[in-house]
Amino acid sequence: MSFRWRQDGWLGGTRWLCSPNQGARPAGATVSLVVLHNISLPPGEFGGDAIERFFLNRLDAAAHPYFATIAGLQVSAHFLVRRDGRAVQFVACDRRAWHAGRSSWRGRENCNDWSVGIELEGDDDSPFAPEQYRVLWRLLGALRRRYPVTAVAGHSDVAPGRKTDPGPHFDWAGLAARFPGLALPAEVSGEPVDRLG
């Protein structure tokens, strides 16, 4: 299935589940950054509907001990790419999702204001599936056709010391080869490492 944009920033070819955890972007904010994350709920377990429930504020705190520690959080991402390559969209890309938290990229604060967040179902200990990369490359291509995206970073790059995702198994070299010219984390691009953002 091909990805096609609607006027309001929803992407056809994805499953739509509208998260309440979103807001308007600040006036004049332009999407120029994509932030990559990983998520598994419960941690280290794949499948099920817990991630969707979490982003929709419907997570059952009693269903797993870990869920009780996060059930009150209000977070979202624009997209989730499941292990089998299915893509779910929670927030229109013209709007602000709540994915990066306190963050900075190359001296610019509040990455949620000017970024799109993509969650890959996974964790720091497991390689991502080939199907996930195939869909991620298509998503990045679609985002670059609609928005002036100039950079892709990991959550660990915009929130160093606080976050570790997308983790050590992410294929940054593959991303760089497919999207030359994008600004990438210093460890990938060969620039001096500045962990202060």
Annotated catalytic residues are 119
Contacts of 35 (CB under 8 A, 6+ apart): 99, 100, 103, 111, 115, 116, 117, 118, 152, 153, 154, 155, 158
Angstrom distance (rounded) from CA 169 to CA 11: 27
Tokens, residue 160: 């160093």
Q: Is 152 strand, coil or helix?
A: strand
Within 13 A of 31's CA, how many CA atoms are on the CB side? 23
Name residue 33's beta-bridge partners. 115, 151
- Judge whether 122 and 40 are in contact, CB under 8 Å: yes
Pairing of strands 79-81, 115-121: parallel
Angstrom distance (rounded) from CA 50 to CA 63: 9
Q: Which amino acid, one-letter code, is at 64?
A: H
